[in-house]
Structure 1
Amino acid sequence: MSLEQSIKLAVESLGAKLYDIVTTKEHDRNIFRVLVTAEGGISLDKCAEISRMISPILDVDEPMNGEYILEVSSPGIERKLKNKDHFKASIGEKVKIKNFATEVFKGELICADNEKIVVKTEFGEDEITYDNILAAATYYEW
């Protein structure tokens, strides 16, 4: 079983869903960030509970050469969309999509299936296949 699968099982056992795992470096410190979601949102207490549950897993299967800070949080209002489930869960939200031709599509995600997404922009509806998406994220207009 991979580290990601172990973390996913632990997160699900506590009634949440694993959204993504991000490894990054901030101020010369390695960050192992576990992003989780739950029906009705994710509380700080739930993040702490998940952190306590996955810490022993990371002690056995150390990521990032063993020198890291574990962060457990929600992906937030503005979040990266990396897989089909992310897109399907974001239908009705505002998204910004960049394709490999570096065109940017900004608008409401109105459809997401196993092959493609449809974004309603100010110019009409654009169909984009997953294999043509370079980067995607939700955004919030303040």
Structure 2
Amino acid sequence: MENNELNNALETAIKGCGVDLYDIERLKENENNILRVSITSPDGVTLDKCAEVSSIISPILDIYDPMSDKYNLEVSSPGIERKLKIPNHFKASIGELVEIKSFDKTKIKGKLLEADDTKIKVEQIDSKEVIEFSYSDISVAKTYFQW
């Protein structure tokens, strides 16, 4: 099964649980393979909801093995500080503090003001200057929480 097909099957099953698929990551930590499925909801994500999603998607993963070796499934919220990878991640984070690193090594922290399908606008914390980035210029982006 192609990754897109697997993602679509998981997204449909997860939506049936009343939450949204945020991200799927395949990781290796301390010799262990991990399939990390992040879910979101406007009402928040509870431990019970993670357990429900895990039990719903496990049969799908048994049929369409997402990794070549044995792995552990983790279902969780992406957290308060999370990676932003696709336009929908940015759109859902408007108004939050973000850290952006571009491919030309520009690094800024600021408030995400706007996001559409091609670009974002961030107001820098210190200077209040608004900087526009196209997604193709962004190397790494994440939200962050200021303590």
TM-score (norm 1): 0.97
**What SS is found at the alignment partner of 1:70?**
strand
Match runs of 1:1-142 below 5 Å? 2-121=5-124, 122-123=126-127, 124-142=129-147
Alignment gaps of 5+ in structure 2: none
Alignment gaps of 5+ in structure 1: none
Q: Which runs of 4+ in 1 moved over 3 A?
A: none
Q: Deviations over 1:43-92 (max 9, x none)?
A: 00000000000000010011211400000000000000000000000000
Q: Which amino acid aligns with 1:141?
A: Q
Q: Deviations over 1:84-110 (max 9, x none)?
A: 000000000000001110110111001
CA–CA distance in structure 2, aligned partners of residues 89 and 77 of structure 1: 12
Q: Which amino acid aligns with 2:139?
A: L
CA–CA distance in structure 1, aligned partners of residues 63 and 117 of structure 2: 36
Percent identity reads: 50
CA–CA distance in structure 2, aligned partners of residues 25 and 116 of structure 1: 32
**What SS is found at the alignment partner of 1:75?**
coil
CA RMSD between the two structures:
1.0
Report how many aligned residue pairs link the two structures.
Answer: 142
Cα pair 2:33 2:69 within 8 Å, conserved:
no
Q: Which amino acid aligns with 2:40?
A: T
Q: Which amino acid aligns with 2:99?
A: K
How far off its partner does 1:113 sit?
A: 1.3
